[in-house]
Amino acid sequence: MSMTAVELAIHPTWNEEAAAQEELLTRKTALETEDLSVYYGEKAAVKNVNLYLKERTVTAFIGPSGCGKSTFLRSLNRMNDTIAAARVTGKILIDGVDINDAKISAVNVRRNIGMVFQKPNPFHKSIYNNIAYGPRVYGAAKKDLDEIVERSLRRVGLWDEVKDRLHKSALDLSGGQQQRLCIARTIAMGPQILLLDEPTSALDPISTAKIEELIQELKQEYTIAIVTHNMQQAARISDRTAFFLMGECIEFDVTGRLFTNPSQKQTEDYLTGRFG
């Protein structure tokens, strides 16, 4: 059995955890990919990836820079549609329906599968209007907006911090608060799946810890996929982890097992810092 010191320290009881996490396999699949490849022009950035997200779990995507993690994540809610050179082959299935089907609207896909980016990117609007903007565009009644705003802000633990300044600019919030606001903004649209692309890499350790705690709470309700460069973070917060290398998904397993007893040599080399 191969174990890295770091991962042993993080997962001293990984056997128990792995067993508990196997239970998650019995959950419904929220989304799965079949031979998903993404090309930028002729170059394949993601190659024939088959993996799945189980309902109300956290799945982490790790791997060295440029291995295709973000491209893969972005393909899951059709964000790559916005890049002219990008082309997707294979399937992304939700309840057996391919979300890339021409009959499916990308806008609806993105309502159901929300995304939060590396750098907090609140709109240049008030805190209130950051949350209310999307629901308003989609026809939420004016009388319901106050409730949507409060519920979304409470859900990310921001309500008490901002309730007295709802109509002040969101840009005056700290980076960590801005990122929680961006998560609240996504939640306000009523998604089932949240895609988080390195959501803490621009944040200080305290704000990072708050977001990690929040992710643990949100998984009671949402299916979450997260790209992270921080292996400790993946080990701390995810139920399953996929290790990517040069566009391929090399290994996909219960997080405790992938970190302490990887089945592939490339995974072990990455975890032990032999490359990447």
Ligand X SMILES: Nc1ncnc2c1ncn2[C@@H]1O[C@H](COP(=O)(O)OP(=O)(O)OP(=O)(O)O)[C@@H](O)[C@H]1O
Residues forming the site for ligand X (CB under 6 A): 40, 45, 63, 65-71, 83, 85, 229
Q: What is the CA radius of gyration of the chain?
A: 19
CB closer to ligand X out of 18 and 237 = 237
Question: 196: which strand partners?
Answer: 116, 226
How do strand 29-40 and strand 86-94 relate by DSSP bridges? antiparallel
Using a CB cutoff of 8 Å and minimum separation of 24, what contacts does 131-135 make?
Answer: 131/181, 131/184, 131/185, 131/188, 132/188, 133/185, 134/185, 134/188, 134/189, 135/188, 135/189
Least distance from C-beta 205 to ligand X, angstroms?
20
CB 190 within 8 A of CB 108: no
CB closer to ligand X out of 69 and 110 = 69
Least distance from C-beta 66 to ligand X, angstroms?
4
CB closer to ligand X out of 70 and 223 = 70
CB closer to ligand X out of 26 and 65 = 65
Distance CA 246, CA 262 (A): 18
Q: Where are the alpha helices (DSSP H) in 125-250?
A: 127-137, 142-155, 159-162, 175-187, 205-218, 231-237
Least distance from C-beta 45 to ligand X, angstroms?
3
Least distance from C-beta 118 to ligand X, angstroms?
8
Least distance from C-beta 25 to ligand X, angstroms?
26
DSSP H or E stretch at residue 15: helix 14-22
Least distance from C-beta 74 to ligand X, angstroms?
8
Three-state DSSP class for 196?
strand
CB closer to ligand X out of 8 and 85 = 85
CB closer to ligand X out of 69 and 240 = 69
